[in-house]
Chains A and B, each alone.
Chain A
Amino acid sequence: AQSVSQHNHHVILSEAASLELGCNYSYGGTVNLFWYVQYPGQHLQLLLKYFSGDPLVKGIKGFEAEFIKSKFSFNLRKPSVQWSDTAEYFCAVNGRYSSASKIIFGSGTRLSIRP
């Protein structure tokens, strides 16, 4: 079965703390991996994506993620969070060569940053 698992439902950090959000996926075949962010009341925005090549990908706003194929993981990291990073974060996957490229989302991790 195709699925994405995000380990933390709600993470609370202080400003300047380091962040790591866990994501594991289950998918038969070659995958594309994504992290999306959804600020309160807003639509999904792409933070970063992995299609192929270097498994360490850098995205916007200082975020990065590492694809570890052997662990089926794609964890999101940021060395120093800011209050403005308060949002919902979704890990997602789709099949690179699938005839149906629908995106499968994880259940999301709500990140709250204390000023």
Chain B
Amino acid sequence: AAGVIQSPRHLIKEKRETATLKCYPISRHDTVYWYQQGPGQDPQFLISFYEKMQSDKGSIPDRFSAQQFSDYHSELNMSSLELGDSALYFCASSPGQPGLASYEQYFGPGTRLTVT
């Protein structure tokens, strides 16, 4: 079965530009999570969606926004990029509503964003 797909895999942007990262969850997974992993750091939760509604929000800057679409794919939009936004952005998906059961999160390969 196909895993979580993220595109692009690598992205280079300049400061103050915008970027859009895409995540395609595993088939029949309706919950999507976004995490940010800075260089040498642990992944930090940004935001999650269940059935196209935001279900939780972490340390996501106001410059970032995200949404989940009717086909359950999700996009993370990042504006006014800063050097500190350079990181690996992971998407994860799981089936079912968060909190109702022990659903494992399956991680995608990540998008490596470099801001110059």
B43: nearest chain-A partner, CB-CB: A105
Contact with B along A83-112 (1 / 0, CB 8 A): 000000010000111111111111110000
Interface hub of B31, B106, B107 (most chain A Cβ within 10 A): B107
User: CA of A49 to CA of B104 in the docked complex: distance in angstroms?
Assistant: 8
User: CA of A98 to CA of B98 in the docked complex: distance in angstroms?
Assistant: 7
Beta-carbon contact of B102 and A99 below 8 Å: no
Contact with B along A35-54 (1 / 0, CB 8 A): 01000001111100101100
Q: A43-B109, A43-B110 are in contact. Are A101 and B42 (CB under 8 A)?
A: no
B33: nearest chain-A partner, CB-CB: A102
Name the one of B55, B104, B109 contacting A46, with C-beta atoms under 8 angstroms. B104
Residues of chain B contacted by A103 (CB below 8 angstroms): 33, 35, 43, 45, 92, 105
Question: Which residues in chain B, 68-116, are within 8 Å of chain A measured between CB atoms?
Answer: 90, 92, 94, 98-100, 102-110
CB distance from A54 to the nearest CB of B (A): 14
B14 within 8 A of A: no
- How many residue pairs between the two chains, A and B, have CB atoms under 8 Å in the bound complex? 62
Beta-carbon contact of B107 and A43 below 8 Å: yes
A82 within 8 A of B: no
B8 within 8 A of A: no
Beta-carbon contact of A107 and B33 below 8 Å: no
A32 within 8 A of B: yes
Q: Report A's interface with B, CB cutoff 8 A.
A: 32, 36, 42-46, 49, 51-52, 90, 95-108
25 contacts between A and B (CB under 8 A): A43-B110, A44-B90, A44-B107, A45-B107, A46-B106, A46-B107, A51-B102, A90-B43, A95-B99, A99-B55, A99-B98, A99-B99, A100-B48, A101-B31, A101-B94, A101-B98, A102-B45, A102-B58, A103-B33, A103-B43, A103-B92, A103-B105, A105-B44, A106-B42, A107-B41
